[in-house]
Amino acid sequence: MKIKFINYNLKIFLFRIMKLKQKSIKYLRKPRFLYSKIQIVSVLYLGVYDGSI
């Protein structure tokens, strides 16, 4: 139960990162590499999480 709750919070966090990414890419071009790195890491982490439940 606790793991599912954490997983749910992580998905909300990922969704917020994606929204933030869409807004900020228009203004900031340099940290695009950083954002893509965060996205890849979070997707891999969530993929592992989804597989374990």
pLDDT tens figures, 1-53: 566 666 777 788 878 877 776 666 565 566 666 667 777 777 777 665 554 44
Q: How many degrees, rounded to 5, is the angle at CA 34 between CA 37 and CA 43? A: 25
Identify the domain containing residue 17 by its residue range: 2-52
pLDDT value of residue 15:
81
Q: How many domains does the chain have?
A: 1
In 3D space, the residue among 21, 19, 14 whose CA is nearest the CA of residue 36 turns out to be 21
pTM: 0.33
SS3 content of the chain, % helix, strand, coil (to 5): 90, 0, 10
Q: Which residues contact 35 (CB under 8 A, 6 or more apart)?
A: 17, 21, 24, 25
pLDDT value of residue 53:
40
